[in-house]
Amino acid sequence: MKKWKQKAIVQKTISYLPFSHKINFIFQKYVTKGVDLSVDYFYDRLGHAREHIKSFQKYSNKAIPATCLEIGTGWYPIVPVSNFLAGADKIYSVDVSLLVSKLRLQETLQKFLDSNNSGELKNSINFLPERFAIIADLINDYDKLSLDEVLQKLNITYLIEDARKLSLPDNSICLVNSNNTFEHIYPEILIPILKEFKRVVKKQGGVMSHFIDMSDHFAHFDRSISIYNFLQFSDRQWKYIDNSIQPQSRNRIYDYKQIYSDLKIPISYESFREGNMDELKSITLADKYANRPLEEIARSHCHFISDMNNSD
């Protein structure tokens, strides 16, 4: 049995258990090795953080977003910490459960410290020296502080709530961002979430910046399959394969564009990876994809930036 099928079976089973997210973390940490804070993952997220800030600067004509909101931060809050270093005053992270822990936050901060010591951090993001000094002090005093105290010093607030009903006021957030999160949210949930983002983002100078990874995430674990492997299954078949702890919507770039258009959220700039047509042609596509242009289906990653000054 292929490795991706084994993982799918295990995660499907875990999804029915109490504390499924905690059990999944243990499974991925000790079995699949998928949640370790690797150097590659760290710098990938730093790259996202840099692009979010650049997007904000371009469309808001301001240097730093005073308030930031991220959905789906995950185990390691790299982008929120990057926003703190850039100078943000209030940073919110919304998720259905608190995935960060004091230890994982310490690992994150230590990665920033190591990157700065090696001279690499300044090549990845722009940061305020006085903000970095706060992180250095936190590392030194870490054992004396609670998780809440550390987060408070980093201007980070976790909102453990339904992102479709945010406890934030209208017109209150300068920058809304996400990093490879939308692909884990099915349209019937993503649509009301984007409506909430549209409500809370500032109508003057507000920006949304979202990275979306449309590849089959099982291929990240099992190199014997392509990033398009999951496109061969019908919706009915995929329902039995997919799971609730790491769901994959299988939406393509045209699906996201349609959602944005329906909600009247502008796509002021977009970029995407062309993908691999040979790999895509090596599988038989499910009927729902069969009548779409192959070059659109092949696009595996995209980045949408929205200048909310142009939204209705």
CATH of residue 199's domain is 3.40.50.150
Q: How many domains does the chain fold into?
A: 1
Long-range own/partner contacts, residues 32-35 (CB < 8 A, 24 or more apart) = 32/7, 32/221, 34/220, 34/221, 35/75
Q: How far is CA 123 from CA 50, 217, 230, 255, in A?
A: 10, 29, 37, 35
Give a yes or no: residue 19 inside a domain: no
Q: Is residue 283 part of a domain?
A: yes
SS3 204: coil
Q: Is residue 68 part of a domain?
A: yes
25 domain residue, yes or no: no
Name the DSSP class of 201: B
Q: Are 211 and 275 in contact (CB under 8 A)?
A: no
Residue 243 lies in a domain: no
Q: What is the DSSP letter of 29?
A: I
Specify the pTM: 0.94
Residue 20 lies in a domain: no
In a domain, 128, yes or no: yes
Per residue of the chain (312 residues), give pLDDT as tens.
Answer: 889 889 988 898 988 888 787 777 777 776 776 678 999 999 999 999 999 999 999 999 899 999 999 999 999 999 999 999 999 999 999 998 888 999 999 999 999 999 999 999 999 999 999 999 999 999 999 999 999 999 999 999 999 999 999 999 999 999 999 999 999 999 999 999 999 999 999 999 999 999 999 999 999 989 999 999 999 999 999 999 999 989 999 999 999 999 999 999 999 999 999 999 999 999 999 999 988 999 999 999 999 999 998 666
CA distance linking residue 216 with residue 249, whole number of Å: 10
Residue 272, SS3?
strand
- Residue 235 in contact with residue 288, Cβ under 8 Å? yes
Give the domain extent around 108.
Answer: 37-214+251-310
User: Dihedral angle at the C-alpha atoms of 44, 46, 50, 55, nearest 10 degrees?
Assistant: 60
Q: What Å distances lie between residue 311 and 54, 83, 135, 265, 306, CA to CA?
A: 20, 24, 37, 6, 9
277 within a domain of the structure (yes/no): yes
- Give the DSSP H/E element, type plus range, for residue 302: strand 301-307
